[in-house]
């Protein structure tokens, strides 16, 4: 609240605040400081004051003209003056413009006072009353006094021009706080002021609070108290304003009544603002918790990243060791092969050298017979030894180069491409309850991702149970965020939930939503399943035919659970036809009478009697027919698996069919001599109970 109690100009607590017409407040002393003198009227010489531009006073005149254009309110909005190069515009620290003095070459120009609101920057040219024309905000002054007292703040001097000093005394008669320099300058202890009583500031504050607050007086008639409220001008006025001033023709109300009314309006507005403030506090708590979570998640993520990189480094080191071991193995293998070849060649060379030396010594002998005895053997040995050197013995068995090249390019490319990817499953979607609804036997569900989530979603999976507390089953998989599920059971409670998925997996389920379908079935004839000779009208509630042969049309809703009742009225009945009413499977024959095949269970009736028919088997002939205006009722009870027919609110024959299970559609067959209108959404007839059927087949 302290910001509301400080002046936007001086930044200190308000002292003698006045209310500007824009509803902003400012200290009276600050208002004096930011007053700007403006010319009364445009002067021809002033428009030529600047040789290269337009003077500020020209803009003052233009702005002054715009002030009076806004419904004569005396106010105008502006963003700033375009200053001429020779007359730069000065600005005060709070953004309020201070105009430069007039050039010395110009004669004195009549001036008025102009004040600019330091908050909204709207300007107003004051009248002859000056600042006295603004009402004093005594309520704000009282709030400031109470706040300062509650905070035990030091009282400041009310006459210091710049930064106020701490007050040392208060004059009870002047009701002003003084510091010592201002007291000596403005309140000397002589003359009439000598009789004034000066007290310490704290005591003066107490006495000020104890004394009754001064009654607010009219700004135009200073001697008159404010007693009425002008509704059109939205301001308090006095009786003299009503008699002589501009408020004479305005609607006025009692000041006390409007005071109570505005207090109530302010209290009501504060309630809404309080709710927003509570939401803002909760939101700030959420943001602060988010900061903590971000820090925790950041530390955890950094640790995970370091661990993953360390694991990669460890894997690379292990692979490095494996490759080094392989190189060492190849190195040892090459050395062994070369050393073995060296050893083998050394032995062979020593044997060859020994043979050569022996042969040379033999050649030196002069005994022919002895030489010839061993010469053949030596010759053969020499040839054999020479042949041994010629079979690749002098070729190295191993290459000195290593035929291995480390292909590190793909790995380096992979390392350079190493980056963060989406590795989290999506968050649980949020069901939008305001858009989820049920209609008849259809349910519409809508959902969205939680706010601020950045996890990519590839699709959603919507699941519903069977409406009987059974297991969930998937009813939709796709990218849409809204889905309508048709063909549900009437008068059933379904549970639904949705989850999102992406390449990383499937996320958590949303909260479970419980939905109730309509208790009573509402449906129409289905043009999509009708025979081409069928004619539908009245929003698919009335059916006729353009063929003399019987044609079948079904309803657009299927039943497999519960108790259902609907009626059909005969709008036209010519030449005694025999239409058939009943239920059928989805694949019933459409070009024959209902009940001719094994896909339908029906009652066909003419003007005198009726029969039940299924799979072309006619049973239970019953007297009593139909005519124009007759009503045929069909009651289907899945709890007992029976089908009952009524004509004009009376049961027609016994229970028509029993042991009915599965999915059935309402159906009818007729020709061109009949027109039927369907009535749905009807309650179960009063005569029907959930009791057992008696042996004769009637319901008891």
Does residue 670 share a domain with residue 544? yes
Q: Is the pLDDT of residue 110 over 50?
A: no
Which residues face 634 on adjacent strands? 566, 645
Does residue 174 share a domain with residue 123? no
pLDDT at position 549 is 94
Q: Which residue has the tokens 């601020």?
A: 452
* Residue 615: inside a domain: yes
Domain finish residue from 481, 516, 551? 516
pLDDT at position 422 is 64
Does residue 82 share a domain with residue 167? no
* Residue 422: inside a domain: no
Of 216-220, 445-449, 613-617, the least confident: 216-220
Q: 112 pLDDT band (50/70/90 cuts)?
A: low
The percentage of residues in the chain with a pLDDT greater than 90, rounded to a whole number, is 39
Q: Which residue has the tokens 């080191």?
A: 317
Report whether 27 contacts 9 (CB < 8 A).
Answer: yes
Q: Is the pLDDT of residue 552 over 70?
A: yes
Mean pLDDT of 369-375: 87
Does residue 673 share a domain with residue 548? yes
The angle formed by the CA atoms of residues 556, 560 and 565, to the nearest 5 degrees, is: 70
Mean pLDDT of 367-382: 88
Lookup: tokens for 578: 């025999």
Number of domains comprising the chain:
5
* Residue 361: inside a domain: yes
pLDDT at position 95 is 41
Which residues face 537 on adjacent strands? 542
Q: Is the pLDDT of residue 324 over 50?
A: yes
Q: Spell out the alpha helix ranges (H) of 364-425.
A: 368-389, 409-416
Q: Residue 497 sits in which domain range? A: 430-516
Does residue 448 share a domain with residue 373? no
Q: Is the pLDDT of residue 76 over 50?
A: no
Give the mean pLDDT of the chain.
Answer: 82
Q: 47 pLDDT band (50/70/90 cuts)?
A: very low
Does residue 375 share a domain with residue 238? no
* Residue 309: inside a domain: yes
Does residue 83 share a domain with residue 17? yes
CA distance 280 to 624: 75
Does residue 544 share a domain with residue 659? yes
Does residue 251 share a domain with residue 185? yes
Q: 512 pLDDT band (50/70/90 cuts)?
A: very high
CA distance 345 to 322: 35
Q: Is the pLDDT of residue 224 over 90?
A: no
* Residue 170: inside a domain: yes
Task: Tell me the pLDDT tens digit for each residue of 177-193.
Answer: 899 989 888 888 888 88
Q: Is the pLDDT of residue 392 over 80?
A: no
CATH of the domain at 494: 2.60.40.10
CA distance 591 to 262: 77
Q: How far is CA 124 from CA 26, 37, 81, 96, in A?
A: 14, 12, 15, 13
Mean pLDDT of 17-42: 76
CA distance 3 to 22: 18
pLDDT at position 213 is 59
Task: Tell me the pLDDT tens digit for each residue of 233-281.
Answer: 888 888 888 877 777 788 888 888 888 888 888 888 888 888 888 999 9
Mean pLDDT of 107-120: 69
CATH of the domain at 212: 3.30.160.60
Mean pLDDT of 102-109: 40
The percentage of residues in the chain with a pLDDT greater than 70, rounded to a whole number, is 85
Task: Kindly report each contact of residues 239-245 with a partner whose C-beta sits within 8 Å and lies 24 or more positions away, as own/partner.
Answer: 245/220
* Residue 408: inside a domain: no
Does residue 489 share a domain with residue 619? no
Of 232-241, 305-314, 335-344, the least confident: 232-241
What Rg do the C-alpha atoms of the chain give, in angstroms? 54
Residue 590: which of 644, 542, 547, 650 has the closest Cα?
A: 547
* Residue 574: inside a domain: yes
Of 64-68, 314-318, 407-411, 469-473, the least confident: 64-68
Does residue 320 share a domain with residue 450? no
* Residue 43: inside a domain: yes
Mean pLDDT of 623-634: 94
Residue 21: strand, helix, or coil: coil
Lookup: tokens for 40: 């009364």
- What secondary structure letter does DSSP report for 652? -
Task: Tell me the pLDDT tens digit for each residue of 405-441.
Answer: 888 889 999 888 888 776 688 999 999 999 999 988 8
pLDDT at position 695 is 37
């Amino acid at each position: 609240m302290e910001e509301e109690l400080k002046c936007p100009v001086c930044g200190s607590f308000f002292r003698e605040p006045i209310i500007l017409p824009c509803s902003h407040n400012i200290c009276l002393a600050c208002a004096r400081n930011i007053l700007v003198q403006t010319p009364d009227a445009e002067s021809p010489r002033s428009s030529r004051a600047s040789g290269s531009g337009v003077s500020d006073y020209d803009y003052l005149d233009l702005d002054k003209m715009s002030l009076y254009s806004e419904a004569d309110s005396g106010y105008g909005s502006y963003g700033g003056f375009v200053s001429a190069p020779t007359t730069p515009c000065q600005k005060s620290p709070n953004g309020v413009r201070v105009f430069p003095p007039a050039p010395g070459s110009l004669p004195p120009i009549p001036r008025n006072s102009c004040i600019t609101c330091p908050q909204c920057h709207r300007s107003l040219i004051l009248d002859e009353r000056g600042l006295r024309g603004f009402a004093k905000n005594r309520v704000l002054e009282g709030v400031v006094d109470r706040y300062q007292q509650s905070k035990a703040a030091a009282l400041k001097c009310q006459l210091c021009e710049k930064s106020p000093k701490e007050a040392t005394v208060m004059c009870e008669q002047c009701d002003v706080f003084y510091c010592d320099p201002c007291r000596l300058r403005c309140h000397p202890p002589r003359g009439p002021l000598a009789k004034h009583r000066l007290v310490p500031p704290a005591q003066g504050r107490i006495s000020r609070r104890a004394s009754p607050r001064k009654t607010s007086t009219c700004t135009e008639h200073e001697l008159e108290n404010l007693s009425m409220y002008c509704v059109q001008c939205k301001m308090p006025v006095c009786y003299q304003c009503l008699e002589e001033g501009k408020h004479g023709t305005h609607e006025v109300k009692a000041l006390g009544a409007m005071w109570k009314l505005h207090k109530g309006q302010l209290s009501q507005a504060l309630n809404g603002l309080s709710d927003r403030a509570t939401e803002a506090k909760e939101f700030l708590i959420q943001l602060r918790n988010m900061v903590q979570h971000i820090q925790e998640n950041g530390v955890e993520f950094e640790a995970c990243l370091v661990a993953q990189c360390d694991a990669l480094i460890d894997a690379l080191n292990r692979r490095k060791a494996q490759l080094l071991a392989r190189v060492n193995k190849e190195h040892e293998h090459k050395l062994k092969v070369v050393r073995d070849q060296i050893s083998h060649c050394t032995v062979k060379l020593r044997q060859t050298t020994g043979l050569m030396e022996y042969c040379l010594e033999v050649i030196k002998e002069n005994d022919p017979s002895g030489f010839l005895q061993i010469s053949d053997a030596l010759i053969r040995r020499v040839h054999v030894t020479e042949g041994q050197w010629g079979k690749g013995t002098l070729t190295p068995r191993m290459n000195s180069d290593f035929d291995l090249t480390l292909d590190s390019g793909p790995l380096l490319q992979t390392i350079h491409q190493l980056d963060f990817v989406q590795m989290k499953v999506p968050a649980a979607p949020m069901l939008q309850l305001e858009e989820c609804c049920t209609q008849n036997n259809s349910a519409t569900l809508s959902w969205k991702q939680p706010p601020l989530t950045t996890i990519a979603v590839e699709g959603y999976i919507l699941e519903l149970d069977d409406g009987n507390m059974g297991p969930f089953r998937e009813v939709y998989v796709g990218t849409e965020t809204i889905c309508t599920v048709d063909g549900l059971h009437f008068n059933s409670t379904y549970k639904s939930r949705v989850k999102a998925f992406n390449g990383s997996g499937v996320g958590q389920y949303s909260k479970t939503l419980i939905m109730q379908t309509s208790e009573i079935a509402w449906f129409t004839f289905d043009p999509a399943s009708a025979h081409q000779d069928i004619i539908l009208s009245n929003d698919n509630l009335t059916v006729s035919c353009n063929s003399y042969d019987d044609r079948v049309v079904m309803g657009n809703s299927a039943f497999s659970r519960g108790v259902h009742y609907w009626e059909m009225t005969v709008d036209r009945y010519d030449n005694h036809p025999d239409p058939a009413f009943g239920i059928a499977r989805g694949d019933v024959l459409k070009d024959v009478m209902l009940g001719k095949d094994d896909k339908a269970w029906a009652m066909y009736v003419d003007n005198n009697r009726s029969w039940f028919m299924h799979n072309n088997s006619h049973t239970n002939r019953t007297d009593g027919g139909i005519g124009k205006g007759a009503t045929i009722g069909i009651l289907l009870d899945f709890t007992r698996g029976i089908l009952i027919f009524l004509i004009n609110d009376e049961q027609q024959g016994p229970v028509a069919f029993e042991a009915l299970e599965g999915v059935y559609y309402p159906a009818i067959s007729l020709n061109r001599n009949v027109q039927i209108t369907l009535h749905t959404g009807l309650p179960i007839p009063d005569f029907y109970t959930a009791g057992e059927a008696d042996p004769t087949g009637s319901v008891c």
